[in-house]
């Protein structure tokens, strides 16, 4: 017996046909022997109704062709929110699971999470003092909420948002077309940054030195102590950086 019949009893359901949201044809259909309702997450306000229907049909795959069974057990997955809606349906208004699922999806259409566009990523700038590790996590979370988007467009947005001009330069030069590859490369830089800071080092985010001389004649920052000894010059564009304990591919 299905969950609905176990709860109310077959005779009670048939006696209340005039009040049921289902038609007589649905209510009088026989149930499969030894049927047990599978575990299905209860519907909540933050769940996409179409996704809930998909999960329900997947869990009921063995009985997907038994329309009456799908109808009669579906209310048991609706939780408090969905049950209040179901109880207000007109009597004998549902004759198939297709009708029920469409009515349910229309009612809770507002639950559908609106996907952000890739243009949203262009506003997601790395903070001036934000670590690369933290920014990667924040950026990746936002990417997961983007609808269909070209990986190259996402990569371009990431590069333009960076404070770290060394990573920006290397990503442009690498000409990556895969978001996963970009995250792997950026993750290496983030690990190097974390390791340098953890060992008392100093990590400089790139940037061209100011002044009127050509970039290959740029002055190094005035850094005292041992850090000055570790200073190296990036001859490609005149930037100054400090050796990292973890070398990154250039």
Per residue in 7-50, pLDDT (tens digit) is: 444 444 444 555 789 999 999 888 888 888 999 999 998 888 99
Distances (CA, A) of 104 to 95, 135, 157: 14, 39, 38
Q: How far apart are CA 25 and CA 16, in angstroms?
A: 14
Please report the pLDDT score of residue 127 as a whole number.
92
DSSP for 176-216? ---HHHHHHHHHHHHHHHHHHHHTT-------PPPSSS-GG
Please report the pLDDT score of residue 202 as a whole number.
54
Would you call 165 helix, strand, or coil by DSSP?
helix
Q: How far apart are CA 211 and CA 80, in angstroms?
A: 67
Please report the pLDDT score of residue 19 as a whole number.
78
Please report the pLDDT score of residue 107 as a whole number.
93
Please report the pLDDT score of residue 119 as a whole number.
86
pTM of the full predicted structure? 0.45
For 35-72, b/e burial (b = at least 16 CB within 10 A) is bebeebeebeeebbbbebbebbeebbeebeebbbbbbb
Please report the pLDDT score of residue 209 as a whole number.
33
Residue 126 zone, left/alpha/beta (φ > 0; ψ -120 to 50; rest): beta
Residue stretches of the chain with pLDDT short of 50: 1-15, 204-250
Please report the pLDDT score of residue 5 as a whole number.
46
Helix ranges (H only) for 77-204 are 79-87, 97-107, 132-143, 151-161, 165-174, 179-198
Q: How far apart are CA 206 and CA 243, in angstroms?
A: 12
Residue 40, H or E segment: none
Computed over its alpha carbons, how large is the radius of gyration of the chain? 30
Q: What angle do CA 169, 191, 236 make, to 5 degrees?
A: 25
Please report the pLDDT score of residue 16 as a whole number.
54
Q: How far apart are CA 49 and CA 43, in angstroms?
A: 8
């Amino acid at each position: 017996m299905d969950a609905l019949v176990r709860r109310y009893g077959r005779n009670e359901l048939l006696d209340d046909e005039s009040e049921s949201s289902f038609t007589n044809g649905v209510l009088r259909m026989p149930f499969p022997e030894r049927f047990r309702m599978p575990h299905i997450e209860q519907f909540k306000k933050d769940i996409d109704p179409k996704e809930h229907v998909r999960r329900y049909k997947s869990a009921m795959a063995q009985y997907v062709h038994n329309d009456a069974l799908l109808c009669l057990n579906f209310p048991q997955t609706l939780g408090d929110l969905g049950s209040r809606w179901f109880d207000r349906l007109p009597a004998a208004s549902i004759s198939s699971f297709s009708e029920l699922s469409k009515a349910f999806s229309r009612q809770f259409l507002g639950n559908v999470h609106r996907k952000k566009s890739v243009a949203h990523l262009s506003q997601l700038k790395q903070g001036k003092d934000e670590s690369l590790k933290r920014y990667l996590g924040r950026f990746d979370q936002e990417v997961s909420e983007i609808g269909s988007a070209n990986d190259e467009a996402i990569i371009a947005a990431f590069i333009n948002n960076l404070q770290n001009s060394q990573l920006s330069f290397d990503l442009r030069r690498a000409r990556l077309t895969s978001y996963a590859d970009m995250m792997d490369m950026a993750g290496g830089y983030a690990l190097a940054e974390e390791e340098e800071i953890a060992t008392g080092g100093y990590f400089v985010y790139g940037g061209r030195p100011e002044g009127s001389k050509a970039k290959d004649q740029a002055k190094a920052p005035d850094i005292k102590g041992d850090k000055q000894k570790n200073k190296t010059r990036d001859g490609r564009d005149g930037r100054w950086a400090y050796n990292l304990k973890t070398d990154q591919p250039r």
